[in-house]
Amino acid sequence: MIAHGKNATGSMPQRIVFWCLRIATYFVLACATYIFLDITIKGSRAVFITHPPFVNFAFLSQAPETLYVFDYEGKKTTMGDREFREWKTTHQIDDANVTSVAYSAGGIWPCIVGTALLVIGSMTFALLVGISSAIYLSEYSRNGRLVRLVRIAILNLAGVPSIVFGLFGFGLFVIFFGWNVSLLAGWFTLGLMVLPAIITASEESLRAVPQGLREGSLALGATQWQTIRKNVLPYALPGILTSSILGIARVAGETAPIMFTAAYAVRDTMPWNVSKWSEFPFQGVMALPYHIYVVSSKIPQNEYTARVQYGAAFVFLALVMLIALSSVLLRQRVRMRLQW
Amino acid sequence: MVTLEKMPDVISTPSIPPATEAPQKAQIEIKDFEFAYGENRVLHSVNLQILPRAVTAFIGPSGCGKTTLLRCINRMNDLVDSARVERGEILIDGININAPEIDVVDLRRRVGMVFQKSNPFPKSIYDNIAYGLRVAGVTKRSRINEAVETSLRSAALWDEVKDRLDRSGLSLSGGQQQRLCIARALAVEPEIILMDEPCSALDPIATARIEELIHELKTQYTIVIVTHNMQQASRCSDFTGFFYLGNLVEFANTAKIFSNPTRRQTEDYITGRFG
Amino acid sequence: MNGSTVTVTSPPAAHKVAARGGRTGEALIRLFFGGNAIIAVVVLVLITLFLFREGFGFFGGNLQNLRVYRSGGLEYVDIIRDQADANSALSRALSDVRVKELRGLMQKGRSLDEANGDLGAFDQFATAFSDAGTDLAGLVSDLTDQAAAVKEQTMLGSGAASVGPEDGETPSVTPAVAATVESIRASYPDYERITATMSEALRNLLANPPALTTPLAQEAFNRVNEKTREYLAAFPAQAERLRAWDPAKPVRWHQAITAFLFDQRWITASFWQDWYGIVPLLVGSIMVSIVALILAVPFGVASAIYVSEIATRPEQRLIKPYIEFIAAIPSVVLGFFGIAVVGQAIRTASESTWFHWVSFFPLSERLNVFTAGALLGLMAVPTIFTLSEDALRNVPRGFKEASYALGANRLQTIGRVIVPASLSGIMSAILLGLGRVIGETMVVLLCAGNRIAIPDFTQGLGAFFQPVHTMTGIIAQEMGEVVRGSIHYRALFMVGLVLFALTLLINLAAQRIAARYRMSIG
């Protein structure tokens, strides 16, 4: 009765279907790989150079400038804004023959700084509030109406589009509180946006701590807060932090919420050049994702703009991917280490 | 069970004290106590008196409410959503522990607990023992050192671990972990120790060590133990309560329960006809 | 417990005090954490509140806007304008006919010059056709100038009519405005004269159609002919509309809402009349989402099935994190990639000979619904993949084992047991993917082409290769430039509110379905 020849690969239709599924899966991977490779290869030309030290520090450490393109003595010449102005003092050039391309010279340093500031501030806020909420939900709360409400709110908040967060941040922080376009407004907008993710991740980590530890501690006469501080949080914290790194990737990667709350297309002064430290959070900054938006939509695609477009996209992609990768790796390590 | 029967030499059979008829003041009094999880009533009108410095065992089939009652004595059920006292009270030294003015932290310091599954903290052995003192605000190093040694000695673990107090509590064997948990409970100097099936996850030898320990501890502590194992109850307790479906069916001197129970249900359970 | 007799050597009194002092401390700590937990609720409420706060004034402003449109006579002018525009549209259709005929002639071996010569008669016809509309267009242009001047006056008079709520049912009409409206209406005899001439001219033209040699061109010409007849037949009705038009006819309050929800025009910062109809944006968002889901659902679900049921362990370990990695690609980078690579690639592909059979190829726009949809599809794949994979993995082992035990092979088990059992989980994954796609901003802003118009659905699937604008895109694009407090500003908040409500609904539906899934697998 047992059919012969039916080996592990199965019948013909089964093989065909499985191959279709396999092809679909690898097609998705191929698309993603293509994007990574395209941006990496073309972006590397801006960021890396062929001679030591191999990294184009100028691109990473300068502010964006306008690029000037012109023919000089039969040669096509390109110059950044400052260089061009200096050069003009010693050379004669007819302005009519000079084409200028915005943003295409210099580098992206202020954008990197701005993004870093936005990430640090919003993650501090989100972690503080998120971990506290998670502690309440996992350690203190009883299943009451309020807690159900909180959970529903978290679930739905997670689905709110980022542009709506941007509108909300604009309405509340920028206009109602009168903070204008500022780091502070960006911190809160981005922080609130990742809050659901942080709460969910933190709660999961807290719940992974065995109940026995809590009971053991309480039975020894520890108060609830002592129990949480000494016997729950220390074991949950690695998990909370690694899961939250994904939140960092999201905060760093979002453009829509900061478009009208925190980001400027151009700003000449660096954030630390403020007259008073109290003004620090009330200044807008340049941000890498917004800069990419600006350079990819407001200037044409050509040989002169490709450098800054691909360079910025590559640096940004590399940063975000590095963060995401470290989250994945750390999570694996934490899972292995904390086996209850 | 067979293995246990085969090793009577390891187990020092506790001498069951003669049923003292002398009126002794009960330390824990459970009066007309009813308890529920949500709509589900799990204890029906339990009345019980537990004498100081004796071992009282709760036996009964799974789900009979014995663990629930035990966890009510130090209000561990506060942690459970929807758990509530329906009626009656539990008095310790004459004071109602469910009264609103009672500090539950204080209560738990006086009523220690050892759990079914040993739950040492993922800290060093030393820190495990010191934990209870530290949360109580003791900072003096010498006092903690002293308490660590005393309680580890009381739990008969000192000799095995004295050279590696800085090792993780999780590195110990199952039986040692459970004794560590007992030592941890002793370190805060409770008056009462509750044990919730402390040997259920242990092998016979480790079980024997714990039972021996219980026997020694009862000279200083009031011990309440929940067990599935009737031999264990008969070996190490002075009084036994038999629970069935949330009711305390019978409570008496252990010798009496096991040799001459008054209720039919008790007899059936003890002789293994159900449960 | 201090009343009790402490029999054992009790812990020192010092820490008892500490414990007592700690009780209020504990309560405060609890309160602190609880307070933080409430923030999620507060934020959700605040979002709703602020979208309403900033958005709601829109209706008042828009009502005012619509009232000015009527009382200022702009509506009257627009009736005539529509008629004039329809004539130009027919003229344009004639030039399409000309192109077809020209191509046909050249295929028959005529040179370009010869073919142009052959078309002399047709050109004459077409010129006469468009000339017939010149007078009407002139009238429209005159009236437009008058009405626009009135409108400007009204706006100045009421202190930027865009702001502030409406004041009573009928806005007070200044004598100057009334005078102008009267002068606009006084043009009616001119209108009648012009349309009569025009109608006659067109009829004469239609009676003597130029000869065409190509069947394709003839067919197209017949369609124009048909349309022109319909157009002429509608003239009396148009005249009737103009006669019946009344500047004092009240604009009811609900028209401000219906205009927002159903009007097909989103025209802002225009000298003539602003329209805030969400339909073109909504249609754009929906079309992009449809393309994204059509691409993402098969790929996402297929890879979920593949990874959870078929792939080997090492494959799983590679594919799962990789796909989750895709989720981390910032959307602005994807958008840039769309502009730099995908859009051009799609256009180049549409020009290739392989796709000659597709009627709407080659494409004229590289940024269109399909470009944005394809990239959003890639973004949605990780969401759909991860959640579907979870659902598939959570199907109890027993189901699978029972199926194998009954002699089913792997394909049968997957197709008849595992996928059906996790279907509601997969559905919920797809809905969450939809929520992500419809709320995504940067990709559509960069790649959807940003043309505020409902695509031409007469082209069939070709509509999916036309540029659109979306709800998220319009907010991102226009929010930075509007005057705070203007109707335009408030209209953008209203769009945000619609978006918010829409994603909330999708999210709730996904949760409902997910709950059913958890029940169905026990």
pLDDT tens sequence across C342-366: 988 988 888 888 877 777 777 888 8
Which structure tokens are listed for A17?
């279907």
For tokens 């390590």, the residue is A333
Q: Predicted confidence band at A10 (pLDDT cuts at 50, 70, 90)?
A: low
**For residues C158-164, average pLDDT:** 42
pLDDT at res. C388: 94
Distance CA B171, CA A303 (A): 64
Would you call B95 and C4 a contact, using CB atoms and an 8 Å cutoff?
A: yes
Residues in chain B: 275
Task: Tell me if chain A has a CB within 8 Å of the CB of C378.
Answer: yes
Write the CB contacts of C104 (distance below 8 Å, at least 6 apart in sequence). Answer: C213, C214, C216, C217
pLDDT at res. C212: 80
CA angle C431/C432/C438 to nearest 5° reads 85
Q: Please state the domain extents for chain A.
A: 66-101, 109-337
Pair C409, A10: CB distance under 8 Å: yes
Pair A170, A261: CB distance under 8 Å: yes
pLDDT at res. C500: 93
* Range scoring the smallest mean pLDDT among A35-39, A232-236, B246-250, C15-19: C15-19
Pair C388, C301: CB distance under 8 Å: yes
Cβ-Cβ contacts under 8 Å, C431 against chain A = none
Nearest to B255 by CA among B8, B64, B15, B2: B15
Task: Tell me if chain B has a CB within 8 Å of the CB of C14.
Answer: yes
For tokens 């394709």, the residue is C216
Mutation target to probe the C interface, by most C beta carbons within 10 A, among A9, A15, A35 is: A35
Q: Which residue would you say has higher pLDDT here, A216 or C485?
A: A216
pLDDT at res. C163: 39
Task: Tell me if chain C has a CB within 8 Å of the CB of A171.
Answer: yes
The domains located in chain C, with CATH, are: 70-255 (no CATH), 280-521 (1.10.3720.10)
pLDDT tens readout for residues C104-114: 888 887 788 88
Q: Predicted confidence band at C89 (pLDDT cuts at 50, 70, 90)?
A: confident
pLDDT at res. B127: 92
Residue B10, pLDDT above cutoff 70: no
pLDDT at res. B147: 92
CA angle B224/B227/B231 to nearest 5° reads 110
pLDDT at res. B80: 82
pLDDT at res. C522: 60
- Which chains are within 8 Å of B by 3+ CB pairs? A, C
**For residues A267-294, average pLDDT:** 86
Q: Is the pTM of this model over 0.90?
A: no
Amino acid at site B183: A
Would you call A222 and B131 a contact, using CB atoms and an 8 Å cutoff?
A: yes
Nearest to B106 among C7, C8, C19 (CB): C19
Distance CA B1, CA A322 (A): 58
Q: Predicted confidence band at C156 (pLDDT cuts at 50, 70, 90)?
A: low
Amino acid at site C461: L
Query: Average model confidence (pLDDT) for chain A?
Result: 85
pLDDT tens readout for residues A160-190: 999 999 999 998 999 889 998 999 999 999 9
Cβ-Cβ contacts under 8 Å, B112 against chain A = 219-220
For B101, counting Cβ atoms within 10 Å of its Cβ (0-12 exposed, 13-18 middle, 19+ buried), the class is exposed
For C170, counting Cβ atoms within 10 Å of its Cβ (0-12 exposed, 13-18 middle, 19+ buried), the class is middle
Number of H helices, E strands in chain A: 13, 3
Pair C11, B189: CB distance under 8 Å: yes
Would you call A167 and C496 a contact, using CB atoms and an 8 Å cutoff?
A: yes
Residue B148, pLDDT above cutoff 80: yes
Interface of A with C in 300-329 (CB under 8 A): 301, 306, 309-310, 313, 316-317, 320-321, 323-325, 328
Distance CA A26, CA C302 (A): 10
ipTM of the complex: 0.89
Task: Tell me the three state secondary structure of residue C442.
Answer: helix
Pair A173, A189: CB distance under 8 Å: yes
Amino acid at site A189: T
Alpha-carbon dihedral A159, A162, A164, A167, rounded to 10 degrees? 160
Task: Tell me the three state secondary structure of residue A65.
Answer: strand
pLDDT at res. C160: 42
pLDDT tens readout for residues C474-507: 999 998 888 888 889 999 999 999 999 999 999 9
pLDDT at res. C4: 39
Q: How many CA atoms lie within 13 A of B107 on its CB side?
A: 23
Distance CA C74, CA C161 (A): 15
Task: Tell me the three state secondary structure of residue C474.
Answer: helix
Alpha-carbon dihedral C105, C107, C113, C119, rounded to 10 degrees? 10
Q: Class assignment of domain A109-337?
A: mainly alpha
Neighbours of A92 (CB within 10 A): 6
Cβ-Cβ contacts under 8 Å, A213 against chain B = 119, 121-122
Task: Tell me the three state secondary structure of residue A78.
Answer: strand
pLDDT at res. B221: 92
Q: Predicted confidence band at B20 (pLDDT cuts at 50, 70, 90)?
A: very low
Using only C-alpha atoms, what is the Rg of chain C?
Answer: 33
Would you call B93 and C5 a contact, using CB atoms and an 8 Å cutoff?
A: yes
Distance CA A137, CA A131 (A): 10
Distance CA C414, CA A81 (A): 63
For C160, counting Cβ atoms within 10 Å of its Cβ (0-12 exposed, 13-18 middle, 19+ buried), the class is middle
Please give the full DSSP string across chain B, using - where no structure is assigned. Answer: -HHHHH-TTTS-PPPPPP---S----SEEEEEEEEEETTEEEEEEEEEEE-TTSEEEEE-STTSSHHHHHHHHTTGGGGSTTEEEEEEEEEETTEETTSTT--HHHHHHHEEEE-SS----SSBHHHHHHHHHHHTT---HHHHHHHHHHHHHHTT-HHHHGGGTTSBGGGS-HHHHHHHHHHHHHHT--SEEEEESTTTTS-HHHHHHHHHHHHHHTTTSEEEEE-S-HHHHHHH-SEEEEEETTEEEEEEEHHHHHHS-SSHHHHHHHTTS--
pLDDT at res. A335: 66
Pair C433, C384: CB distance under 8 Å: yes
pLDDT at res. A336: 64
Phi-psi region of A203 (alpha: psi -120 to 50; beta: other; left: phi over 0): alpha
Nearest residue in chain C measured CA to CA from A16: C411
Query: Average model confidence (pLDDT) for chain C?
Result: 83
Strand partners, B19: none
Neighbours of B42 (CB within 10 A): 20
pLDDT at res. A164: 93
pLDDT tens readout for residues B176-219: 999 999 999 999 889 999 999 998 888 888 889 889 999 989 89
Distance CA C340, CA C329 (A): 16
Q: What sign has the CA pseudo-torsion B182, B188, B189, B190?
A: negative
Helix axes A288-297, A306-337, angle to 10 degrees: 150
pLDDT at res. A337: 60
Pair B170, B138: CB distance under 8 Å: no
Distance CA B222, CA A255 (A): 65
Residues in chain C: 522
Residues in chain A: 340
Task: Tell me if chain C has a CB within 8 Å of the CB of B31.
Answer: no
What is the 3-state composition of chain C as percent helix, strand, coil, each rounded to the nearest 5?
75, 0, 25
Cβ-Cβ contacts under 8 Å, A289 against chain C = 330, 332, 442
Which structure tokens are listed for B168?
């993780």
Residue C139: C-alpha distances to residues A115, C148, C245 (Å): 56, 14, 18
Nearest to C26 among A14, A167, A223 (CB): A223
Cβ-Cβ contacts under 8 Å, B170 against chain A = none
Pair B148, B169: CB distance under 8 Å: no
pLDDT tens readout for residues C297-348: 999 999 999 999 999 999 998 899 899 889 889 999 999 999 999 988 988 8
Which structure tokens are listed for C519?
């029940």
pLDDT at res. B273: 74
Q: What sign has the CA pseudo-torsion B227, B231, B237, B243?
A: positive
Q: Predicted confidence band at A14 (pLDDT cuts at 50, 70, 90)?
A: confident
Q: Which residue would you say has higher pLDDT here, C174 or B160?
A: B160
Pair A179, A185: CB distance under 8 Å: yes
**For residues C6-10, average pLDDT:** 37
**For residues C6-11, average pLDDT:** 37
pLDDT tens readout for residues C408-445: 888 888 988 899 889 889 999 999 999 999 999 999 99
Distance CA B121, CA B29 (A): 32
Q: What percent of chain A has pLDDT over 90?
A: 39
Query: Average model confidence (pLDDT) for chain B?
Result: 85
Which structure tokens are listed for A261?
């709350």
Residue A76: C-alpha distances to residues A49, A99, C284 (Å): 21, 11, 43
Distance CA C313, CA C302 (A): 17
**For residues B137-162, average pLDDT:** 90
CA angle C359/C365/C370 to nearest 5° reads 75
Pair C290, C373: CB distance under 8 Å: yes
Write the CB contacts of B92 (distance below 8 Å, at least 6 apart in sequence). Answer: B27, B28, B29, B73, B107, B110, B111, B192, C4
Neighbours of A271 (CB within 10 A): 18
